[in-house]
A = this chain, B = another copy of it.
Amino acid sequence: MNILYDERLDGALPKVDKAALLAEMRAALPDLEILHEAEDLRPYECDGLSAYRSTPMLVVLPEHVEQVQTLLRLCHRMQVPVVARGAGTGLSGGALPLEQGVLLVMARFKRILEVNPEGRYARVQPGVRNLAISLAAAPHGLYYAPDPSSQIACSIGGNVAENAGGVHCLKYGLTVHNLLKVDIITVDGERLTLGSDALDSPGFDLLALFTGSEGMLGVVVEVTVKLLPKPQVAKVLMASFDDVEKAGRAVGDIIAEGIIPGGLEMMDNLSIRAAEDFIHAGYPVDAAAILLCELDGVESDVHEDCELVDAVLRKAGATDVRLARDEDERARFWAGRKNAFPAVGRISPDYYCMDGTIPRRELPRVLNGIAELSEEHGLRVANVFHAGDGNMHPLILFDANVPGELERAEALGGKILELCVAVGGSITGEHGVGREKINQMCAQFNAEELTLFHAVKAAFDPQGLLNPGKNIPTLHRCAEFGAMHIHHGQLPFPELERF
């Protein structure tokens, strides 16, 4: 799969004199590692969304905050765009570089500065891996809750930029809910602290505004995350269904019982079979859908909830409900789910991963809608998702070598996201907008809302030098893309009537 980067996006940016920039940079930052030869730049052409590629003009790898400040001041003075990059695991092209810009790689900021068990927080540099924080906190019985599937590789700075989620965010929240403070460098090189050690901070909530802003408002140089006590016990139930809609309804039934599971995940038959072939998780390959429901907390509580959820699932029409009998089986049940994406990669030359969210009650209708759209476009769709919080990851299977399939996959993806918006959901749950979904933002928001986004962006970065062409589309772009705006599902959506 290979969609070239859309040059129109940075058409408005000034041309940069690479030689002059390089000379100034070397003079101002003699110790900074700078990559500028073609072969050195290649590894940085894309992030986790390899469909979009672009060669950065320069790649810089600073090691000290002062270098980041000097670099940003220099780029600001010379009007050079800057794209920050963490571990490069993002799935929406948020760290896609610019040919006329500097790629600022924060991977060397790897130090854990403080783990404070009494204050229940950890203070870390942005390049620290998500999982490394939990490992450092483990001796104190604590952990960092958000757990994106890439947690072994992704960095906390990128998690902040994308407001990353994970399997457990229904109960424990997204990144934004697990932060105390973020230190940033602004476009003109100032260091600012957003948030505080206290629960609330006076003035406007710039910490929440910054979280998920996809590198458009500043560069993260330090993060203070909340740590939580590890649950005493965690149990997983796996329920099989002969019908996808029934599984969808069961999700609502569990929540309606007043239970908030640690994780509540759904997979359809295509995903089940792919995962089972790959991982041998013990999934029922004939089931139309399975639900995985994790319950965590203190022993007695978890035991009680397991019984209750078991009953709810059976009442909702589950053909079988199994409690993972030990830690091994529990780990295997999760391994199947967490490897569902690569598993699907084994049964199709290419796949396109969507990330829509919908109100939970719309699950059955949207699943039906996706099935119809899939048939219409002649492409298979594997459904894997965080059912509890309505965050869907439909995977569109296609072969880029078959003429027309790539275009059909893109068209189908667009239709699925429009369906999500039409039922009151959104075009991204946890992967971010990045470069990938920038057109769909025109469907999600109206002109007034986009104008407000641009005004907020200008408050931080008036010249638009930080990660231009991502996250927030220009009104011009939306006009070109066509009049597909649906205002939070309140305006008529022609497709919707059918489902």
The CA-CA distance from A163 to B199 in the complex, in Å, is 11
The CA-CA distance from A488 to B190 in the complex, in Å, is 15
The CA-CA distance from A42 to B416 in the complex, in Å, is 56
Shortest Cβ distance from residue A60 to the other chain B in the assembled complex, whole angstroms: 24
Contact in complex: A359, B204 (CB < 8 Å):
no
- Assuming A192-B452, A206-B452, A301-B297, is B459 touching A198 (CB within 8 A)? no
The CA-CA distance from A452 to B452 in the complex, in Å, is 16
- Assuming A455-B459, A459-B456, A460-B452, is B203 touching A118 (CB within 8 A)? no
Shortest Cβ distance from residue A194 to the other chain B in the assembled complex, whole angstroms: 9
Q: In this assembly, does A211 line the interface, its C-beta being within 8 Å of a C-beta of chain B?
A: yes
- Assuming A118-B256, A141-B258, A229-B258, is B213 touching A200 (CB within 8 A)? no
Contact in complex: B206, A176 (CB < 8 Å):
no
The CA-CA distance from A23 to B122 in the complex, in Å, is 59
Contact in complex: A390, B202 (CB < 8 Å):
no
Contact of A205 among B190, B209, B426, B459 (CB under 8 A): B209
Contact in complex: A488, B196 (CB < 8 Å):
yes
Number of copies: 2
Complex interface residues of chain A between 173 and 221 (CB less than 8 A to chain B): 174, 176-177, 186, 190, 192-193, 196-206, 208-209, 211-213, 217
Q: In this assembly, does A374 line the interface, its C-beta being within 8 Å of a C-beta of chain B?
A: no
Shortest Cβ distance from residue A460 to the other chain B in the assembled complex, whole angstroms: 7
The CA-CA distance from A212 to B205 in the complex, in Å, is 8
- Assuming A361-B119, A459-B458, is B448 touching A202 (CB within 8 A)? no
The CA-CA distance from A471 to B165 in the complex, in Å, is 32
The CA-CA distance from A390 to B205 in the complex, in Å, is 19
Q: In this assembly, does A427 line the interface, its C-beta being within 8 Å of a C-beta of chain B?
A: yes
Using an 8 Å CB-CB cutoff, how does the interface string of A357-401 with B read, 1 for contact, 0 for none? Answer: 111110000000000000000000000000001110000000000
Interface residues in A, total, Cβ within 8 A: 78
Instruction: Identify which of A148-156, A317-325, A437-445 touches chain B.
Output: A437-445
A457 — which chain B residues lie within 8 A by C-beta?
A: 204
Shortest Cβ distance from residue A392 to the other chain B in the assembled complex, whole angstroms: 10
Contact in complex: A390, B452 (CB < 8 Å):
no
Shortest Cβ distance from residue A265 to the other chain B in the assembled complex, whole angstroms: 15
Chain B's closest residue to A142 (CB) is B258
Contact in complex: B198, A426 (CB < 8 Å):
yes
The CA-CA distance from A471 to B205 in the complex, in Å, is 12
Q: In this assembly, does A270 line the interface, its C-beta being within 8 Å of a C-beta of chain B?
A: no
Contact in complex: A445, B203 (CB < 8 Å):
yes
Contact of A174 among B199, B390, B456 (CB under 8 A): B199
Contact of A202 among B198, B358, B437 (CB under 8 A): B437
Instruction: Identify which of A82-90, A126-134, A336-344, A428-436 touches chain B.
Output: A428-436
Chain B's closest residue to A456 (CB) is B459
| Interchain Cβ contacts under 8 Å between A and B, 30 examples | A117-B256, A118-B256, A141-B258, A163-B200, A165-B200, A174-B199, A174-B200, A177-B177, A192-B448, A193-B449, A196-B425, A196-B488, A197-B424, A198-B359, A198-B390, A198-B426, A198-B429, A200-B430, A202-B426, A202-B428, A202-B441, A203-B472, A204-B213, A204-B456, A205-B209, A205-B212, A205-B213, A452-B459, A455-B459, A456-B459
